[in-house]
Structure formats: C-alpha cells, structure tokens
Amino acid sequence: MSLLVAHELYRFFHTGEDETFALRGVSLCLSQGEFVALMGPSGSGKSTLLACLTGLDEPDGGHVLVDGMRLTRRSEAARARIRARNFGILLQSGNLFPHFSVEQNIRFQMRLADRTDDPRVDELVEMVGLRHRAHAFATQLSGGETARAGLAVALAANPPILVADEPTAEVDADTESRLIDHFETRRRAGLTTLLATHSTALARKADRIIRLHDGRVEDD
C-alpha cells in the first residue's frame, strides 16, 4: 500500500485582484522506503505541495492520505496528531523554537514523538555540522545554521516520512555528502523521504524524480 497519496490537489491564492494557481490537480503516490526528489522551477508549486501533503495547509480541492488515513479536511488537532506520528518536516518557514538551544529543539521534537531515551542527539548535531553550536539559541544562528538545525529537528524522531524543502541549500559539500548518506540509510531502513530540491547531485541519488511545472506534475 502507498504510504503517502495525493489525489488531484488544487490550491489557489488570492491577493487583491490577483489569483495564483499554485497547484492544478497534482496526484502522486509514495511507497514505504522510497527516496523521492521533487524538482521544478521557482514558483512551480513545490513548497505549496509539501505544505498540503503534511497537513500544514489545506488544499482547495483533492485529498491526501497518510498510511491509508485521510489527512485533508480534518480538524487541526487531528491533522497535528497524524503529523506527529508520521512526519519529520523542514519547510522554508523554519521549525525551531527561538528560545530553545539547538540541542533543546532536537530533544523537544524527540519528546513529542515519545523518544525520550533516544541517544542520537550528538549524532544528529554532528551530522548537520553544528557540534560547536549545539548550545546556541535558535535566534543566535546564521541563516545556514538555522536551516541545518531545522533539518536535525526534522530528523530527530526518525520519522516514517521525512518531508524537507531544500534541505541542502545552505550546507557545504561535506555536510551535503553526510546528509545524502543519511537519506540512503533511511531508504535501507524502509523509511520514506521526499525532498524538494534544486540540487542535481541530490536528485541523482533519489529513486524517483517528480517534476512540477506551473502547478502540475510534468514528469514522474
């Protein structure tokens, strides 16, 4: 069975007189253990799609199923429960609590997922190249450090589905290669990974590339 299904998703935005058609009937299926890259030009709808797939945004049409459960058109509390159980999420809007340190943010995410005894905090901090910044508050981090800390938080609960928007946009080559190793380890462990990326190096490692263009799937 598919772990994550999107069926005919539509999303429109209205700003004043303008209407933007961000998603125009996007359907996709992700199986357990798949590593999928979502690509497409700026403005093609990648971030909007990730937000709808994780229930952080509601599509205007269509629906999303997570492990057979409908995520769309449910209460925020129900969506949050499904999200906590199934997803690790890194979106461009960020996922850090500003007055927690990097390490506290990671531990908090683990606690939300009931992984209080998880020994991997140091490992995660090391993997994203932030050992020297583990005790810094989120507000004290540079843009690149914030993105990397956010990724460590998204990975903290070893989520069944990792959804990340441009996870390697702000990382150096060493960190990118450590992250690619980690994504491949997730695949071997049967965990699913969906990354929106402009990086061809990263996309080359994926099992599948889904290309969006103008709010539609151009190629899958």
Enumerate binding residues for ligand ATP (CB under 6 A). Answer: 13, 15, 20, 22, 40, 42-48
What residues pair up with 61 in beta bridges, in sequence order?
10
What residues pair up with 101 in beta bridges, in sequence order?
137
Find where tokens 């690790």 sit: 88
CB of 173 to ligand ATP, least distance (A): 21
CB of 133 to ligand ATP, least distance (A): 25
Cα(110)–Cα(41) distance, integer angstroms: 34
CB of 46 to ligand ATP, least distance (A): 4
Task: Give just the sign of the alpha carbon dihedral 151, 98, 137, 115.
Answer: negative
- Give whichever of 20 and 177 is closer to ligand ATP, judged by the CB atom: 20
Residue among 147, 192, 189 nearest 54 (CA): 192
CB of 45 to ligand ATP, least distance (A): 4
CB of 197 to ligand ATP, least distance (A): 9
- Give whichever of 46 and 79 is closer to ligand ATP, judged by the CB atom: 46
Kind and range of the H or E element at 104? helix 102-112
- Give whichever of 25 and 43 is closer to ligand ATP, judged by the CB atom: 43
**Would you call 54 helix, strand, or coil by DSSP?**
coil
Residue 7: Cβ within 10 Å count: 16
- Give whichever of 13 and 99 is closer to ligand ATP, judged by the CB atom: 13
**Would you call 185 helix, strand, or coil by DSSP?**
helix
- Which residue type is seen at 57? D
- Give whichever of 18 and 117 is closer to ligand ATP, judged by the CB atom: 18
